[in-house]
Amino acid sequence: MTWIPNWMHRLASPPAFYAFAGRLQPWLWGASAALLGYGLVGGLALAPADYQQGEGFRIIYVHVPAAWMSLFIYTVMAGAAVIALVWRIKLAECVLTSCAPVGASFTALALVSGMLWGKPMWGTFWTWSDPRLVSELILLFLYVGISGLQQAITDPRAAARACALLAVVGFVNVPIVHYSVEWWNTLHQGPTITKFDKPSIHVSMLWPLLSAALGFTTFFAGVLLQRVQNELLWRERGNPWVKEAIA
């Protein structure tokens, strides 16, 4: 492990990370509130109505950031899972298990907001013949499965190992979700923002969307740190630093 920088080693120690997470959190909450605030005002009021979907398109400011988060959180979780499997770093195990419930909540939000968008625009809440919809649902099952697995196994290290294996194997679903709209002919529209030519969305609609997406991301970071802190407190209970931290 000599190629891992020294500061990383130090930061991965539970007391150091606990303190670091505590210092970082107020900044994340502040940034998230500002970015979400602009995203909300920009998305609901400043952006013009869409020429095809009218005011209904404003669901995009919930749906797209939530869908991005569903994939982003899974990627973070799978990265932590690999680190946990290879180097057995306790912090990585805590990150892995803390990601699952948060990821599940954003995946559920992506699905629910997508259904509420699909009903008026496509005429249906749900269809089993659309790969984007079905693969996103599988993503939700993966998150719920990992979360359930963690709660079912009492020994935290064994639980993290099982969760890590499932997370790594399940990662195969992430590119499937992302590329489903290109690989198959779907009801779901293709990418609007993340394509190589210019995004096919006007800046007055795009900026609030990017702001909301960053707001979701910083919010996730804050929640993740809070949850990881909790995990560390519980796993390290009895250690002097924990007594100090909760004094």
Partner 1 sequence: MSDFLNMGGYAVYVWGSYAAAAAVFAWNLAVPLLRRRALRRELHAGQGEAS
Q: Contact residues for partner 1 (CB under 8 A)?
A: 44-45, 49, 54-56, 58-59, 62-63, 66, 101-102, 105-106, 108-109, 112-113, 116-117, 119-120, 219, 223, 226-227, 229-230, 233-239, 242-243, 246
Which residues lie below 8 Å from residue 105, measured CB to CB, with a gap of 6+?
none
* Choice between 8 and 41, CB closer to partner 1: 41
* Shortest Cβ 36–partner 1 spacing (Å): 8
* Choice between 56 and 168, CB closer to partner 1: 56
Alpha-carbon Rg for the chain, nearest whole angstrom, is 20
* Shortest Cβ 148–partner 1 spacing (Å): 16
* Choice between 22 and 175, CB closer to partner 1: 22
3-state secondary structure of 128: coil
* Choice between 55 and 182, CB closer to partner 1: 55
* Choice between 10 and 119, CB closer to partner 1: 119
Q: Amino acid letter at 172?
A: V
Residues 107/140, Cβ–Cβ less than 8 Å: yes
* Shortest Cβ 224–partner 1 spacing (Å): 9
* Choice between 1 and 246, CB closer to partner 1: 246
* Shortest Cβ 223–partner 1 spacing (Å): 5
* Shortest Cβ 62–partner 1 spacing (Å): 4
Which residues lie below 8 Å from residue 217, measured CB to CB, with a gap of 6+?
69, 72
* Shortest Cβ 109–partner 1 spacing (Å): 5
Could you tell me which residues are beta bridge partners of residue 54? 50
* Choice between 44 and 169, CB closer to partner 1: 44
Residues 117/157, Cβ–Cβ less than 8 Å: no
Percentage helix, strand, coil for the chain under 3-state DSSP, each rounded to 5: 80, 0, 20
* Shortest Cβ 187–partner 1 spacing (Å): 17
Give the span between the Cα atoms of 142 and 105, in whole angstroms: 12
Give the span between the Cα atoms of 19 and 23, in whole angstroms: 6
For residue 190 the two structure tokens come to 């293709």
- 21: number of CA atoms within 13 Å, CB side? 25
